[in-house]
Amino acid sequence: MEFSQITVAVQKIITETKVQLVDELQTFITDKLDEDSTEAIVELFKEFKLKLANRAADDMKKVHVKGKRAPKAADGEKKTKKPSEYNMFVGTKIKELRAADSTLNGRDAMKKAIGLWKEFKEARSHSEGEKEEEKKVEKPKKKAEKDEKKVEKKATKKTEKKPEPESDDDEPEKEESDSESETD
């Protein structure tokens, strides 16, 4: 017996026990009271049993039994999952295969479509593998190019920043030489 079936059986036993308890309580109260007041109480107990039974039925619906579909959403609409790439591929291939060969049955069309999917997937993964290899090769090339550009920039900056000859030392000498020539 599966877990969900056990759960359903236990819930049924609990519900039956609750109903029996309510029946016993009803008979106990009606025995203790006079007939005029018992009629209203009996009606209340009937209403309570009905609510109890409805609640139990709702609880049973919530339990998912294996082999049966899950209950619908609260708004009554069935939740659908977006088809995967595999689902779309196989669906279109089955339609194409059946259009090409009308004698092809569903099982054979499915087998061929699955085979085509495997081939497609392998081809795609192979081409992606090549792209990744190309990227791996391109990365060192790009890095080397960047490094070369950095070196070139540094070299151009150094040539632009050549130290200029110090003109401060030259000027005082000229002044001294001028002053010497004036004295002569």
pLDDT given for residue 46 in this prediction: 79
pLDDT value, residue 184: 47
Question: What residue type is assigned to position 169 of the chain?
Answer: D
Per-residue pLDDT at 141:
72
Map out the domains of the chain as residue ranges.
3-62, 90-153
Q: How far apart are the first and last CA of the chain?
A: 131
pLDDT in tens, 136-158: 766 677 777 777 887 787 777 76
Q: Which of 115, 113, 117, 85 is nearest to 101 (CA)?
A: 113
Region 46-54: what's the mean pLDDT? 79
